[in-house]
Structure 1
Amino acid sequence: MKIIGRIPLSVAVTLLSFASCEIIDNDTDKHVDQYDSISLESVAEILSCLPMHGENLHEVHKAVSSSSVNGYDEEYTMTSLFACPGAGVGEDEVLSRSPETFQTPLRDLIEDYVRSSGHTKSVGAISDPDRWLDAVSSSDIQIYWPFSDRWDGETFPVITFDPENNSEINVGYRLAVDNDGSRRVEEVLVDEEMAEEVPVWVVNRNSDAGYTTLEQLRREDPDWGEGGGTIIVNPAHRMQKTKNGDEEPVRSLILRDFTAMRNYDTWFAGASEFFVKTGSLEDFTASTEAELRLYSPSITDFVIVVKRSQVGEPLPFNAMLISEWTSQLQNCAFMITEDDGGTIDEWSCTALVRVASKSYGVEIKIPFHSRDDIVWRGQLTGRWLESVSSQKGNFGDVSLTFEVVEY
């Protein structure tokens, strides 16, 4: 661990608060959307200067643990920190109405510091403390605590921030207590190796709170079972009628597990959010071209959050991609992306269906974001899926296990 410098805490408050000085104008009406005016570095500096105690560490640990259980990354959003101390992302609304009580939550420490230090006058476009607090509490900024499950319950964290430049190393602030009880802040260099050995809080931006994870869906739908248990499929009809009037079994396509083989972002950014999208014509039984026109493509879209510690580990997925795959549906469109934001774009592709001994292409438009990493996309035929059912297969940098279930 490389120590850059040691600063007495009383001096550190002054020095750190001027670390990002810039000249601004006083026309506050020009600054309508001010979330970007709050730098990650300034929030990390504030956290490093707070007179935190064990209770505050347990508050953050409770929140990141709750987020993790709910299928999100180990994160504590500023929105929750100010509105419901100790609440994680995806926490049950009933529990959030009766939150655990903390004697001095982290929110109070931040508010006291900002209002008393004049910090906001020197770090960004928002000079008024109350407006700064309103902006940060409504922003996408959060505390990310990698490897939080290894915390010993006592050690204070090193606090750093995402430099947002693809770097794997950055400056961090570590609180040290001398024998006489005086506190000081040490500047250190922080990388992922340090985060595996000692507690590290990373101030970064949230990218998954707006999505519903698989864990959340399992709780909402009893057919999913608990925590990745065996999915129970209940098609509307056990047998399908063919164009000749014969009955055929109903087939369903399920994605059993998902394995990410690498990280797509720097460790400062945290977990990877993968989207699995499937486009098809469900329950397709058209016997004429006129009937074909009555069908509209359907798209299933699931998100799975893969923490950095889970890379290379098969994760239960157990999601129904196509519930009723008839013999007339020849293939489906399939796409995996890793979320990086941007504007809405779409992939135009084709699903093949068979009607009266002829094959028809049905256009399907699958949405994604312009900055997303496209892990894999293409068509999957029914015959191929049946041949590899329950076998692992590689799709770019992920490994998947499909299963075709027949009823």
Structure 2
Amino acid sequence: MQNQSEVVKRPRVVIVGAGFGGLACAQALGNTAIEVVVIDRRNHNLFQPLLYQVATAALSPADISEPIRRTLGRYHNIRVVMGEVVAVHPATGCVELKDGEEIAYDRLVLATGSDYNYFGHEEWRKHAPGLKSIHEARDIRQRLLLAFEKAERCEDEEEKRRLLTTVVIGGGPTGVEMAGAISELGRFMIGRDFRTLKEDQLHVLLIEAGPRILATFPEDLSQYASDYLSRIGVAIRVNTPVEDVTAEGVQIGGTLLPASCMVWGAGVKASPAATWLQVEAGPGGRLPVAADLSVKGAAGVYALGDTAFTRGEDGQPLPALAQVAKQQGKFLGMALAANLLLGEAPPAFRFQNRGNTAVIGRNAAIFDFGSWQLKGRLAWMLWAIVHVYLLVNFEKRLLVSVQWIWRYATRQRGARLIDET
């Protein structure tokens, strides 16, 4: 009989965060001779690029999310822990959870994602939620749909205008997608379901502090998006920083713009991972990493996705995109397996750019592949194919595809539910 002391201890990799990068890393380590512990404060993974469709009643939360245990359940060597990490102790090789439990690691992967940056005005969050969680998406949907119900019964024209005014703050992909979807949703509902409202009473305003929307895209694609949004009734204001956000509306240029629903998409910041490690953060609070994604100054610790500040082969910072996180997660999982089981040194990560995209509205999207661009209906179809492919499993891909086809044919939105208030 083998003595307990003779049992070889399996190396342990702890992954904090079950987003695109964390899941890809865990799956690459699945069914290996490595013990893997995945920690997340939620019990589900979430396809964040489609959260705006939950917020605008096109999809239900279950369409774009799945329990982490179901996703990773087929891997015998992976354990899932629902908990919130509050500290990392590299000297002792463990992470500390909010409830006081400590989990030891041989290698630590930080894939904790990002949060919206309110630039020192956290009090704005309750009035202008972002789109990082199902709770926030449902909150926005609730505000939008309730505003239409109240406007239907309102006889005061000034209050009705406020109720039918939505302000989207931030002209990046999330802001553009939200503004377009809100305008299309509102005009469909007014034209079909509401009897006392008129389309010209609906106001959707997209505010951007910079000189143009979609600043990370080529200028001609940005202009195409601006023109399309204008055609579907979205008013765009560039070079317009927000001065204040209250329950009554948004203050810009010293004037309060009354609105019933505000949505924040004006910038992101990394998780507090740098604070946990007590290392100097890079731009946006992200952790500076070496070419193999190891965190500088923290032995045995790696970071990926929105948590990591990495540069491409051209020397430019890699964007906070799902494709970056997934590629880094798969790469790191395979590299750690080779390192821990075979003693191989992790190689340098190389990002393969598969294009940057944003959807503007029905039959309208843009794609930037670097050397060439695509826009319009064909880009919209490619956007849909890519996003269905990126969903976590076949069931979700089928459900979302069927709903999109039905919605395209009928323009109906089946998730227009208001929770009891």
Q: Per the shorter chain, which TM-score range?
A: under 0.3
Compare the two structures and name the one with the higher helix fraction.
2
Question: Normalising to structure 1: TM-score of the pair?
Answer: 0.24
Q: Which has the higher contact order (CA 8 A, sep 6+)?
A: 2
